[in-house]
Structure 1
Amino acid sequence: MNIQQIQARLQSLGNPEKAEGMRRFFKTGPGEYGDGDVFVGITVPEIRKLSKECETLSLPEITELLRSPIHESRTLALLLLIRAYKKGDAPLQEKICDLYLQNTRFVNNWDLVDISAEHIVGSHLRHRSREPLRSLAASRLLWERRIAIIATFHYIKQGEFTETLHIAGLLLKDTEDLIHKAVGWMLREVGKRSQEAEEDFLKAHCKGMSRTMLRYAIERFPEHLRQRYLHGEV
């Protein structure tokens, strides 16, 4: 299947009613975080199924899909990059991570970040310098900051929490709700594996966190402990 056939297939799979719901869900209105994003109305399971038919696409072709104004095209491109990264040798993995980091402006909604950051950026930097994560965390671009924290999910799953806690500290005063939620989520994931590690961080920083970040972080705590954190009694 070539790039033109894939683009036609995406259009044929579209559902106007679903597209309208997606535009509302992903906040595509003027001034909202997904301002102007274009949806044709295809579910992620449908896109995953389509991705299995597109494995022969070259990186330039995948890049073309990634730069599409259509959200589902970008989702498809990221799924293809993840699959290629997992199957690739070291030089190809380097190319894919570089391609991703050079095109973060197209990884421009929370779902796109969340399906891809840990599998490409997180995985690639596991045994390399983590400095790119710090650069992303300091970015003016909301989605790059979200990539920085979500990429660390890869390390959490390996039982390594230091990077997550460091990036969480860098993003503690972020003004964006989507960053508060992402940081709180990753702290909660740390806590699933080591409540001690999460609580050490929370005891040091909870009073400086947004309420959203804190609520996400302590969601799984026993109710009495949740209330202590929420009332600043820890």
Structure 2
Amino acid sequence: MLKNTFIKIFVVEIEQLTAIFYSHSNPEKRLKMENYMKNNFPFLGIQTPVRSKLQKPFLQRFKSEKKINWDWVQSLWDLKEREFQYSALDYLITKKKHLTPADLNQLKYLIITKSWWDSVDLIASHLIGFIVRNYPEVKQDVLQWSASENIWLKRTGIICQLKFKQETDTLFLSQAITKNLNSNEFFINKAIGWALREYSKCNPHWVSEFIENHPLSSLSKKEAGKYL
């Protein structure tokens, strides 16, 4: 009985959030947002400040929970409009201190479904990065992603240390990049340059040597050398 009551409350909350988002749709902004994302996803036209305000009461309900509510994440992820995926990621970012290696497969699913740079980059830098930093035993699993056939898993393996600064594992970074040196994929070469550029802010010597000793694409070199 209690389980059925919980399910009913959960469904009602999803329906409430959906209704609130739909009631704040903006056709003019919707078109601009869809165009910006190359029309890969339908949008409601709700920009980040408005979305944050609308979803705040719902996120607060999860504040005391000590684990990730993957049912909530999946329910939002399955909805059509892109703002619902953003809301799912906002929730995960607020709860990221509760992420563990056990959550890696669920995050991998989010990376390879409804994939584009907007969602993947958040997952990689905020969520996968958190797990890699706090649970070093998963490094080899994530490093293997950089050799995947899926470009978004590759990109995640390359950029997951974006926020590590001096704590960057240079062996991990080097291996993730060298697995992709022959790539012609824009999102991979851009990621290589981005990862190197971020690390150059605290270790320009290492990055300069890496650029000199590896056959990077022109795009990767351009991105990597912006602060050198």
Aligning the two structures, in what range does the TM-score lie when normalised by the shorter sequence?
0.7 to 0.9
TM-score calculated relative to the size of structure 1? 0.80
Aligned residue number for residue 41 of structure 1: 45
Alignment length (residue pairs):
208
User: Is 2:111–2:123's contact at 8 Å kept on the other side of the alignment?
Assistant: no
C-alpha deviation, 1:75, in angstroms: 0.9
Deviation sequence 1:38-93 (CA, Å, 0-9, x none): 1111212333333422223632022111232321111110110121222x2xxx53
User: Is 1:188–1:218's contact at 8 Å kept on the other side of the alignment?
Assistant: yes
Q: Does 1:158 align with 2:167?
A: yes
Q: Structure 1: how far apart are the matches of 2:174 and 2:93?
A: 25
Identity among equivalent pairs (%): 26
Give the alignment partner of residue 101 of structure 1, picking from 95, 105, 108. 108
Amino acid at match of 1:100: L
Give the alignment partner of residue 198 of structure 1, picking from 207, 210, 215. 207
SS in 2 for 1:133: helix
Amino acid at match of 1:164: L
In the superposition, relative to structure 1, how do residues 95 and 64 fare at CA in structure 2: closer, same or farther (>3 Å)? farther
Amino acid at match of 1:188: R
Aligned residue number for residue 53 of structure 1: 57
Q: Give the RMSD, CA atoms, in angstroms.
A: 2.1
Aligned residue number for residue 225 of structure 1: none
Aligned residue number for residue 24 of structure 2: 13
User: Is 1:67–1:106's contact at 8 Å kept on the other side of the alignment?
Assistant: no
Q: Structure 1: how far apart are the matches of 2:108 and 2:55?
A: 21
C-alpha deviation, 1:155, in angstroms: 3.1
SS in 2 for 1:117: helix
Aligned residue number for residue 229 of structure 1: none
C-alpha deviation, 1:107, in angstroms: 5.3
Q: Structure 2: how far apart are the matches of 1:159 and 1:210?
A: 22
C-alpha deviation, 1:130, in angstroms: 1.1
User: Is 1:186–1:217's contact at 8 Å kept on the other side of the alignment?
Assistant: yes
User: Is 1:42–1:72's contact at 8 Å kept on the other side of the alignment?
Assistant: yes
- Unaligned residue ranges in structure 1 (runs of 5+): 29-33, 222-234
Q: Structure 2: how far apart are the matches of 1:69 and 1:174?
A: 32
User: Is 1:150–1:182's contact at 8 Å kept on the other side of the alignment?
Assistant: yes
Q: How does 1:50-199 map to 2 (within 5 A)?
A: 50-55=54-59, 56=61, 58-86=69-97, 88=98, 93-106=100-113, 108-126=115-133, 127-156=136-165, 158-199=167-208
SS in 1 for 2:148: coil
Aligned residue number for residue 219 of structure 1: 226
Q: Structure 2: how far apart are the matches of 1:162 and 1:170?
A: 12
Amino acid at match of 1:41: G
Aligned residue number for residue 34 of structure 2: 23
C-alpha deviation, 1:159, in angstroms: 4.4
User: Is 2:200–2:207's contact at 8 Å kept on the other side of the alignment?
Assistant: yes
SS in 1 for 2:181: coil
Q: Structure 2: how far apart are the matches of 1:49 and 1:18?
A: 17
User: Is 1:155–1:161's contact at 8 Å kept on the other side of the alignment?
Assistant: no
Stretch deviating more after TM superposition (127-136 or 4-13): 127-136
In the superposition, relative to structure 1, how do residues 153 and 54 fare at CA in structure 2: closer, same or farther (>3 Å)? same
User: Is 1:85–1:96's contact at 8 Å kept on the other side of the alignment?
Assistant: no
Q: Structure 2: how far apart are the matches of 1:164 and 1:49?
A: 37
Amino acid at match of 2:38: K
Q: Structure 2: how far apart are the matches of 1:173 and 1:50?
A: 44
- Unaligned residue ranges in structure 2 (runs of 5+): 1-11, 63-68
